[in-house]
A and B are shown apart, each in its own frame.
Chain A
Amino acid sequence: MLLQQLINGILTGSVYALFALGFNLVLGALNILNVAQGAIFTLSAFVAYYLISVYHLAFPFAFLVAVLVGGLINVALEVLIFRPLRTRGGTSMSTLVASIGASMILISIAQLISGAQVERFPFGTIPDIQWNNFDIRISFTQVLVLSVTVLTMAGTYVMLNKTRLGKAIRTIAFSERIGLMLGIPTISIARWTFFVSGALGGLAGVLLGIMYNSVYFLMGEPYVLKGFAAIVIGGFGSVTGVIVASMMIGLAEVFSTVMGIGKFKDVVTFGMLFLFLLLRPNGLFGRDEEVRP
């Protein structure tokens, strides 16, 4: 059973990591805590669900479209809400409040479309294959989710560190003014950042919906706080940190059930968060910032 729970914890952590990566990207690059990430996660899952169940699109295409839609919704939020706020000198607090408002609007749309009903992807969307060895059960869906998560994390790391787009994102994360001085089109890069962030959120939403057979208008809500916890524990702006922290949270939650304290799993997660804030506020992989007098 312990090995099975380890797998459960890794899978849970994987979905947290995908969600938190997108969250972290916009926070790290643009200093915007975009709470609407949970709503984008949800809407992308619904897009994939309706494409498959109503329009009978094959899963890979529905998946890609849903991820694209997640990115585009986030870009729309940047164009309509965050850019105008920042142009007018909006603070982090005002962008946070605006993102809460956007989240509520998007969730209401999801509720209206779905009629507040829980849906699931049609049986057979992913082949129902299970492997059962050494007292471990793992399904094809779980292997798919794990593989996609690993590839996505690797791809995000490569994008941020080895591509021009990634360098531009890291530059404006350091200083938007320096980015402008270097001729980086900051507005365009900001939109690309939002696109990638939304796409990551959408990807996480579809995978979660497939893995847990549940697409529901409030499905993204629990992940916003967990994603934030992963960012704090892992270190703001650190991709490696967010991945490691997400795995820690996933495993801590699952093993709290194993230890018989499952009803305190949120206490465990947020207890870890408080400990890090007190003892290591920069997180596992965050860097100290030097403030010049």
Chain B
Amino acid sequence: MTGSISPVYRALKLFFTSALVSASLTGLPNWSTAIAEDIKIGVPLSLTGPIAFAGTKMKDAMELAFDEVNKSGYLGSNKLIPIFADDRSNQPQGISVTQQLILRDRVSAIVGYTASNICQASLPVAQELKTPALQADCVVPGLNKIGNYVYSAVRPSDAFVEMAIDKLVAERKIKTAGIIFQRDNPVFVNLQAVVTKAFEKNGVKIVASEPVTSGGDSDFSAQLTSIASGKPEVLAILLIGGQVGPAMIQARQTGMKDTIFLGEQNFDSVEVRRVAGPNAEGSIFPSHWFAASTIPGNIKYVKEYQARFNRDPDTFSANGYNAVWMMAQIIKKAGSGEREAIRAAMESIGEMDTIFGSAGKTSFKDRQVTLTPFFFTVKDGKVVSAFTR
């Protein structure tokens, strides 16, 4: 017999093919049982350059988080494979590594970024290339407006700093303030405007507002001498973490012995307090996380971090760790390593576990997490609650 295939054979083939397809589609609700999936996650961080002091901390904590996700079997037999990339603390390199992670390494999603100016440059690339991105550490406003593939695991710091000023002025009756800010960083340029407005709204006179030209500067004597001549009761130090400690020391040396230092979340760093020493006494800052928080996830994190790295975690490491676990929850909801599924999961996920805040829960609103800040001060070398109300 040549030519035609038996109709019975054709029917049987169709039946068994359909059955096989149906079985696979109606199998387990989340994952294909055929093969465990390695899900590549791009992790761009500032590992060299001026922001490396923060990026290297984030990398350590994120490696810890990735290991925990994989070893705990949180995603079943599927593993998250981090692909770390160094943006060298500069925007062109940030754009370049984002493109490489998406186009060459074909990651399912991105979690990371250290500096706000790099977020501003790189996240639109992720949006354009339709790759879900969860930024971990950038606190400049507006990132949640980039598009529906870009989400933030932290909130902009401006609202928190504004709240801190309102409380500080109300409680301590502040009348004068000075500001020193880094002018080549969008976070601090934005914060300078926010802080100025907040002080003025509260009837506080700004005696001087001096710019620092770059994150590499360590000599603030001219700016601080100019500010000190106005005898401010509060000095807002809006500089990158590596500059905050030296600025505090130099500020005290210019005669601002009793001036209260006010900053943003980067004040919440063991390194800043170690470098500044007793000069940090009385400084005030907001934070969405603190090491002594009794959220079970945080207690576990702090313990694991200390055991692995033999040092205390800080806000940068907490941001990195938390973002990885949030991404893991999103991918679990997605049930897949497909980019579109992850993006849809980000949109619909609802409540997530977090080590931030007091309740240990958060959700996305306008594509950024909802968080209530804490307000801290340094007293006798320890971080304690700053305000009575």
Listed in ascending order, the chain A residues whose CB lies under 8 Å from chain B are 1, 4-5, 8-9, 11-12, 108, 111, 115-120, 123, 130, 132, 137, 139, 208, 211-214, 216-219, 221-222, 253-254, 257-258, 262-263, 265-266
Contact = CB atoms under 8 A, between A and B. Distances in A.
A1 B218 contact: no
A211 B278 CA distance: 17
Contact of A137 (B213, B216, B255, B278): B255
A208 B222 CA distance: 15
B219 A12 contact: yes
Nearest to A123: B277
Given A12-B219, A139-B253, A216-B218, A115 B242 contact: no
B250 A213 contact: yes
Nearest to B249: A213
13 contacts: A1-B226, A1-B229, A120-B245, A120-B275, A130-B253, A139-B253, A212-B246, A214-B218, A214-B275, A218-B216, A254-B221, A257-B223, A262-B213
Contacts of A218: 49-50, 216
A69 B76 CA distance: 55
A123 B381 CA distance: 15
Contact of B245 (A111, A213, A219, A253): A213
B152 to A, nearest CB: 24
Interface string B246-278: 100110011100000000000000010001011
Contacts of B55: 116
B293 interface: no
Contact of A4 (B53, B216, B225, B249): B225
Given A115-B56, A118-B275, 12 more contacts: A116-B53, A118-B241, A118-B271, A212-B218, A212-B219, A212-B250, A213-B249, A213-B250, A213-B275, A217-B52, A257-B223, A265-B213
Contacts of B278: 123
Contacts of B50: 218
Contacts of A9: 222
A5 B216 CA distance: 21
B225 A8 contact: yes
Contacts of B348: none
B357 interface: no
B210 A262 contact: yes
A216 B48 CA distance: 12
A108 B56 CA distance: 14
Nearest to B248: A213
Interface in B205-241: 210-211, 213-214, 216-223, 225-226, 229, 241
B225 A263 contact: no
B183 interface: yes
Contacts of A212: 218-221, 246, 250
Contact of B222 (A117, A213, A219, A257): A257
A119 B218 contact: no
Given A218-B216, A257-B226, A8 B249 contact: no
B277 A118 contact: no
Nearest to B219: A212
Interface in B11-66: 47-50, 52-53, 55-56
Contacts of A254: 221-222
Contact of B211 (A108, A111, A123, A262): A262
Contacts of B221: 8, 11-12, 212, 254
Given A8-B222, A111-B48, A253-B222, A221 B216 contact: yes
A221 B50 CA distance: 11
B253 to A, nearest CB: 6
Contacts of A213: 245-246, 249-250, 275
B249 A120 contact: yes
Contact of A222 (B48, B52, B216, B243): B216
B372 to A, nearest CB: 30
Nearest to A120: B275
A9 B225 CA distance: 11
A208 B52 CA distance: 21
A218 B216 CA distance: 7
A120 B222 CA distance: 20
Nearest to A212: B218
Given A118-B53, A208-B218, A263-B183, A214 B246 contact: yes
B218 to A, nearest CB: 4
A25 to B, nearest CB: 24
Given A123-B277, A262-B211, A263-B183, A116 B52 contact: yes
A263 B213 contact: yes
A263 B52 CA distance: 24
A1 B222 CA distance: 10
When A and B form their complex, which 6 residue pairs have the shortest distance between CB atoms, in order from nearest? A116-B52, A257-B222, A214-B218, A118-B242, A214-B246, A263-B211
B249 A222 contact: no
Contacts of B56: 115-116
Contacts of A119: 275
B217 A222 contact: yes
B58 to A, nearest CB: 11
Contacts of A118: 53, 241-243, 245-246, 271, 275
Contacts of B229: 1
Contacts of B245: 118, 120, 213-214
B53 A117 contact: yes
A211 B250 CA distance: 9
B89 to A, nearest CB: 9
A286 B93 CA distance: 40
A9 B303 CA distance: 48
A244 to B, nearest CB: 20
A129 B253 CA distance: 10
B53 A219 contact: no
A11 B225 CA distance: 14
B246 A262 contact: no
Given A116-B56, A118-B275, A221-B216, A258 B183 contact: no
Contacts of A258: 222, 226
A100 B221 CA distance: 30
A116 B56 CA distance: 8
Nearest to B272: A118
